Structure 1
């Protein structure tokens, strides 16, 4: 039986307060596990509007309704409205995810700030951002986080080293085809990377003849190869406007015989001794603007 690990990225306050409860209900309906990765500091979603000049950004947003997915108020955070503290205001919803039996971990401290800056920042900046997220996670959950999944699949060398220093044995910080051990400056890390292997819904909708009504068929076709996969979803999308699409996906995966699991469960079925050691690299993904961590 193949497994689909459901990796849930929580980017915003709205996604925490509204999307998390909605997804918990959907997952409970099919008795699915998931890993929720939380943004734990300020919500500065409005800063993302500066990406308008990034290659591919306008093409991407033209295929998806940014305002309906994120809400006008969220798009004003950091621009016309102060960025609210997600960890302070959304702690109850975060703890509810763990109480429902799901794995929880770190996504980031400040999502847009990390995504738009980490590639070029130094070790000190990187460690400060990551430690802020770690400390807030401990404050909310009373224990150290078991895993990490980078905002926007953006990392740098020091971020991979920090994951090792925290003692995490697996993380999901990039895109790729299967688990591997990353190397930084020729030195193998101590943790396993479990990259997102399937395209996200927002990368597919609007491409060719794919719409919200039929995009689930495209994902299900990719899931028929008999391999384990990691699927990334977002509380702002699948926990909101795209909820009907995600429900169809959940039913389709169950019909295909897949086990819907957390990252922790998927990791327990990995043979570390058989994994390749691969250097950290960057590349582009169709349907997403800019470069991200990509398995070579």
Structure 2
């Protein structure tokens, strides 16, 4: 039986993460010959406005565990509040282009990370499409071609965002937490864009918890990989690309030593889309994930019969 197959997805949330974390991760992954998908925030960095999450259950515990100020920097935490939020794609255009030029897959994370993560479910269908399309236009302006994948900020997804993806004819999306790829159904409607879930906990969901000592974090993640099974690990340019870059480099080496095969999510999606009868159809639901505040899009129960 073949070893575990693991795809790396990189969420890029901020201007600083783009400037510092993205080049560091691209260098590391290229040096180790490991594929990855970089998903970019393409509009204003309004990270400071995330203070509105102060009343969300679990917010304080996550902030205290992950040392938000040292992770993001004081300048980033003032963006959109004390200081105007810089336009990430315009300011860092050459960095974004260099990632694709080095052979990595790129895609859309969002236009405005905080706005999408905090406001998606209060927006009209038309406003959701408009918000996604702003990101899609910015992506095409930088890369010269339409995006083929997207992964929503904060794993926030609903029927309106799935419809926007279908209209953009993405090859696949990665908005949910779950166990295996599936075609999503919401309120009885089946959408065409394949979902490839994040299947492993993220580092910031484990860090600082007494049950997950720092020297055991890699063990926790590697223990969840099974021979022959496909998994996706989401990392962040602001964490694994900066303060935890050394940890991530060691994790990659340990994974290779354990016969983990690093694969491209795009290749996995192409294989599955070519054989749709092999892919589960499941509900896209909302639920909680251990170590993260608020509700997220999650893989729900399999659909029995055909959805409309």
Equivalent in the alignment of 2:290: 286
C-alpha contact (below 8 Å) 1:213/1:245 kept by paired residues: no
SS at match of 1:222: coil
User: Under a length normalisation based on structure 2, what TM-score does the superposition of the two structures give?
Assistant: 0.93
Q: CA deviation at 1:128?
A: 1.0
Equivalent in the alignment of 1:276: 280
C-alpha contact (below 8 Å) 1:212/1:245 kept by paired residues: no
1:164 aligns with 2:166: yes
Equivalent in the alignment of 2:79: 77
Residue 36 of structure 2 is aligned with which of 34, 37, 44?
34
1:98 aligns with 2:100: yes
Residue 265 of structure 1 is aligned with which of 257, 264, 267?
267
1:245 aligns with 2:247: yes
**Partners of 2:41 and 2:279 in 1: how far apart?**
30
Equivalent in the alignment of 2:206: 204
SS at match of 1:38: strand
1:208-242 CA-to-partner distances (Å, cap 9, x unmatched) read 34233331111111124541101000000000001
Q: How many residues align?
A: 296
Equivalent in the alignment of 2:130: 128
**Partners of 1:120 and 1:281 in 2: how far apart?**
17
Equivalent in the alignment of 1:180: 182
| Structure 2 unaligned residues grouped into runs of 5+ | 301-308
C-alpha contact (below 8 Å) 1:3/1:266 kept by paired residues: no
Residue 149 of structure 1 is aligned with which of 148, 151, 154?
151
Q: CA deviation at 1:192?
A: 0.9
User: Under a length normalisation based on structure 1, what TM-score does the superposition of the two structures give?
Assistant: 0.97
SS at match of 2:299: coil
Which stretch of the first structure deviates more once superposed, 203-212 or 169-178? Answer: 203-212
**Partners of 2:288 and 2:299 in 1: how far apart?**
11
1:137 aligns with 2:129: no
SS at match of 1:282: strand
C-alpha contact (below 8 Å) 2:171/2:270 kept by paired residues: no
C-alpha contact (below 8 Å) 1:169/1:190 kept by paired residues: no
| Structure 1 unaligned residues grouped into runs of 5+ | none
**Partners of 1:81 and 1:135 in 2: how far apart?**
25
- Root-mean-square deviation (CA, aligned residues, Å) is 1.2
Which stretch of the first structure deviates more once superposed, 130-139 or 265-274? Answer: 265-274
Residue 191 of structure 2 is aligned with which of 185, 189, 192?
189
Q: CA deviation at 1:41?
A: 0.2
